[in-house]
Amino acid sequence: MRHDPTMGEQAQDWTRRDVLGLLPTLGLVACAGTRGAEPLKFWAMSYEGDYSPMLMPAFTAATGIAVDVQSLPATASHEKLLTAQAGGAMPDVLMLYNGWVQEFATIGAIAPVPSPALVADMFPGVLDATHVQGRDFAVPWSVAPQAQFYRRDILTRAGYSAPAEDWDGWLRMGHAIKRQRPDDFVFMLLLNWPDTLITMLGQTGATMLRDHDTRGNFQIPEARAAFAYYVRLFAEGLAPKALSTEIQDPVAAFAQGYFAIWPTGPTTLLDLHRRAAEIPAERWGTARLAGPHGLGAVSGLSTSLCVSASTPRPAEAWALVRHLSSPASELRYQRLIGNLPARLSAWSSPQLRAPILAPFKEQMRFPTAAPKVIEWERIKLEIQFAAERVVRGVQTIPQALTGLDTRVDQLLAKRRALVEAGTLA
């Protein structure tokens, strides 16, 4: 973890300017005396978990409330949180990927947001993902929409000043680059990273579930078109038939020119800046992701902050959420990990005016909407497996989509029974 020399200064600024903003949330907690009490427990994943401790000194200095941060491995966090809920051992405050909010709200693990002010000033599409049955259950925290990172030098040699903006243009550009560099690939689309395919499904307008989200709906023309385009990129040699375990250092691969186009999120900005000796900043740029007929919506891995429904200290827990989701904290996080603020007001900061961030800001206004079912994470895996079978020639697209509908129907069997019984809207 790197040292941030601005931490002391920012802690002082936050104490002076923002502590008053906590008073409505804290109520009489300070009068009761929180100093010396047990720390609040906060769990988060990935970079957010690793760097969260750097946001806590300002909060503790202003409130006297200590915070114990636990960073969870992303691959095991979902199961750990469910186990904690079942065992009555949930943290006071937790980070959830937005795709998990519906599930944890449905099982009663998280509390509804107590004040509209906590979710005011958010990008609307981001907030929609945390809205469950007419109520807000999470406060958006960091946003990571996909954009395409591209090698300026490689595109220039192929006759392009910037990436193409539509699917047909992407193919033409891909083949132009491939002719220049026949031994390398063009697109980094790893088979176990399904976000680009999920984006393509959303861009075609595919409604992936039907019958009140109780059955799969992947045999429709829109879904076939998305699968066909995705598979074509591999079949024509523009992307490798590989998993991330086979390309363990994507930044190095990008730096070496093994790929020219990399659809990914804003944390990659930090990775590239850290490794400027391998790939100087003038060699790469960012652009919005291409769509079927031009620039369109994309998916992205966004996170939110939630308070456990079982916390004995809800006022203090919501005070911590208010601090972590404040513009000052979000901007600090952007410098630390690269993810972008969910609050619109944070974007007025000079810190976010760099041209390299403009495609992400624009893209945040056009998110694809994922189905709001608790089974969505498992459905995404089934989409990934179906696409891999087609790419590797094990199945045809019709076979894969028929099988995908069957497996999704099985995953949704319990939901379907509840809907049919009238106990779930």
Q: What is the pLDDT of residues 101-144, one digit of tens each?
A: 988 998 999 999 999 999 988 887 778 878 888 899 999 998 88
For residue 34, pLDDT beyond 70: no
- 267-305 per-position pLDDT tens digit: 899 899 999 999 999 999 999 999 999 998 887 678 899
Per DSSP, the three-state class of 187 is strand
Return the pLDDT at 36: 54
- 181-195 per-position pLDDT tens digit: 999 999 999 999 888
What the block records as the tokens of 364 is 């945040």
Query: If pLDDT is split at 50, 70 and 90, which confidence band does 25 have?
Result: very low
In percent, the amount of the chain with pLDDT more than 90 equals: 69
How far apart are alpha carbons 387 and 395 in whole angstroms? 9
52-81: average pLDDT: 93
Average pLDDT in the chain? 88
What the block records as the tokens of 34 is 């929180």
Return the pLDDT at 74: 81
Return the pLDDT at 277: 96
What the block records as the tokens of 245 is 């375990």
Bridge partners of residue 261, in order along the sequence: 150, 187
Q: b vs e for 184-195, b when ≥16 Cβ sit within 10 Å of the residue's Cβ?
A: bbbbbbbbeebb
Return the pLDDT at 382: 97
For residue 33, pLDDT beyond 50: no
For residue 4, pLDDT beyond 60: no
Selected residue with higher pLDDT from 173 and 302: 173
How far apart are alpha carbons 249 and 259 in whole angstroms? 12
Return the pLDDT at 256: 95
- One-letter amino acid at 236 equals E
Listed in sequence order, the DSSP H helices in 265-373 are 267-274, 314-324, 327-337, 358-363
- 155-170 per-position pLDDT tens digit: 999 999 999 999 999 9
How far apart are alpha carbons 364 and 138 in whole angstroms? 18
Query: If pLDDT is split at 50, 70 and 90, which confidence band does 425 have?
Result: low
How far apart are alpha carbons 325 and 315 in whole angstroms? 15
Closest CA to 391 of 229, 254, 244: 229
| Highest mean pLDDT: which range of 164-178, 261-275, 409-423 | 164-178
For residue 18, pLDDT beyond 70: no
DSSP structure class, residue 183? T
Return the pLDDT at 21: 47
Query: If pLDDT is split at 50, 70 and 90, which confidence band does 6 have?
Result: very low
How far apart are alpha carbons 91 and 317 in whole angstroms? 10
Return the pLDDT at 250: 93
Write the CA distances from 199 to 123, 124, 233, integer angstroms: 19, 18, 15
Return the pLDDT at 369: 77
The DSSP result for 4-41, as a single string, is: -TTHHHHHHHHHHHHHHHHHHHHTTHHHH--TTSPPEE
390-396: average pLDDT: 98
How far apart are alpha carbons 266 and 239 in whole angstroms? 21
